[in-house]
Each structure stands twice: as C-alpha cells, then as structure tokens.
Amino acid sequence: SPSALERIARSVSVERCSAGAVVLTEGAVSDDLYVVDAGELAVHHRALVAGGGTIPSLGPDDWFGELGLIRRSPRTATVTATTDVVLWRIPGDVFLDALAGRARPAALDRTIGIRLARTHPDLLPG
C-alpha cells in the first residue's frame, strides 16, 4: 500500500561498507533487509562451499536478508562486500509490517524459491 511504502521509505538508512566487510553472517539472527544501491557482494553458504558450488554475486537493485525475516529463522548465508558498497537497510519489523495481511509480491516469492533451492532445498514447500 502507499502508506506501507512511505513507512519503508522513512525508515531506510544508508550503509557504506568497504571491500572485504562481512555484511551478514550465516547463522546470525535475521534483523533487517538490504537493497544494493552500488557495488558488488559475494554470497557464501557453507554447504555450497564444501561442495564446490557457487551462488551468483549481488549487485545494484538486488536485495538480500528476506529469507530469515520471512521464515523467522537465522541467516542462511554469509554476504561479503567484494567492492566498496552502498546499501539501503530496511528494518525487518518495518518490512514485515508492510507485508502483513497482503499477498507477497511474486518477485519476492520467486527470489525466495530460487535462493532456497540453491542453499536449503530441504526447506522448500513439498
């Protein structure tokens, strides 16, 4: 809704991270959602690293952090800045409030499905 979008816009904070900085750590508490404004980030998941698999990098207009928020579970991957990055940080409670009582956007559901299939296929709905 327009009011939910306005609340999100008012709550966004800008974060700058240097190359090499860890933004999220696998297993940590899920608190916020991030949108990439500029720069590139690498995504690592311990099972994929052990198996030699890769996860595509994140760049401008990508988002991350939604899985743990929506599933109310710990972070499913570690995200590290590979270049200097500018991120928009949206508080998790504001993001979840915006979704409350509404169907999730199709793009969000697609992204969640793709990410779970890569890192946690056991968590996909049967």
Give the pLDDT confidence of 83-126 residue by residue, as tens digits: 999 999 999 999 888 888 666 666 666 666 666 666 655 555 65
Average pLDDT of span 35-39: 97
Give strand ranges (E) for 5-109. 13-17, 22-24, 32-38, 41-44, 63-64, 78-81, 85-91
The pLDDT score that the predictor gives to residue 122 is 59
Name, in order, each residue with C-beta under 8 angstroms of 29's C-beta and a sequence gap of 6 or more. 68, 74, 75
Q: What percentage of the chain carries pLDDT values higher than 90?
A: 47
Strand partners, 80: 22, 42
Query: What pLDDT shows up at residue 99?
Result: 81
**How far, in whole angstroms, is CA 61 from its chain's centroid?**
12
| Statement: residue 68 has pLDDT above 60 | yes
User: pLDDT > 70: what percent of the chain?
Assistant: 73
Helix (H, G, I), strand (E, B) or coil at 82: coil
**19: Cβ contacts below 8 Å, ≥ 6 apart:** 81, 82, 83, 84
